[in-house]
Amino acid sequence: MRVVVFGAGSLGSLVGGRLARAHDVTLVGRDPHVSAVQRSGLRVTGVETFETQPAATTDGTGTNADLALVTVKAYDTEAAARTLATGEYGAVCSLQNGMGNEDVLAAHVDAPVVAGTVTCGARLADPGHVEWLGRGTVTLGPWRPEGDTAPVERVAAAFRAADFPTDVTSDIRRRLWEKLAVNAAINPVTALARVENGAVAGEGPLAAVATAAARETAAVARADGVDLSAATATTAVETVASETARNQSSMHRDVARGRRTEIDAINGFVVDRAADRGESVPVNRVLTSLIRGWEADAGRRE
């Protein structure tokens, strides 16, 4: 299968590198990472160590493939969607953080849109070198056309051919909200406190803030018609925080490196949807304001 990965950062490179062992993969990313992959291939270390030779480019305009995987930051989804619209694809699948990405893609691309979540951990160690920090799984479900499982099964088959544990669900919206609850709990708290994920597991002041953010997110999900209990959301946070205890969240890494975060598509989405549904989310509102305030002071808000 021909696969294009839009957003060859840490996660995109790991996913693309694993798929390249079974498929014809092209990574679309930025230099100096792309140049390093073009020159010497992609090196993966950590859970497994291997080298692979995917194609790589900084310009995804006009590409054609059986599958486009979108792994860009949420704030870059619009730009990625416009670039994708210049090519032709059998299916487009989002594996991004936050909510709303699938609708943006569906508004631009003339292809089935598949929603997905991925739990494996990754870190871009150096140009051309990604660290695989946790095995994880992929979960996929139909987005557009709604209920159409045929493109979902094709995408799942591509992942499985590369020995990527993959599940297909008809309840992808609930899975996305559950992931949102995890990200809303872990990402801003660890970014603001500058701690690893394990600091929000168990008991303590940070865990209490993270739990409150997850509970609020679950309440908004229910108001939005998704059956996500507070217990399910908080258990997911505890599980992820414990299993990735030594990892830094993506938002923590963004703040530490002075980069824009995905706060708008995570806690900001919770705040906006809560306002639409008449829910109160004071913890998410404060976390959103604090991260946005840091971004504004650092000149990272557009």
Catalytic residue of the set 73, 129, 179, 252? 179
- What is the chain's alpha carbon radius of gyration, rounded to the nearest angstrom? 18
Report d(CA 99, CA 80) in Å as an integer.
Answer: 16
Rounded (5°) CA angle 64-66-69: 90
Beta bridge partners of 167: 139
SS3 call for 98: coil
Report d(CA 47, CA 139) in Å as an integer.
Answer: 20
Annotated catalytic, 73?
no
CA proximity to 184, closest of 251, 259, 123, 256:
251
SS3 call for 89: strand
Report d(CA 7, CA 262) in Å as an integer.
Answer: 14
| Catalytic positions, written as ranges | 179
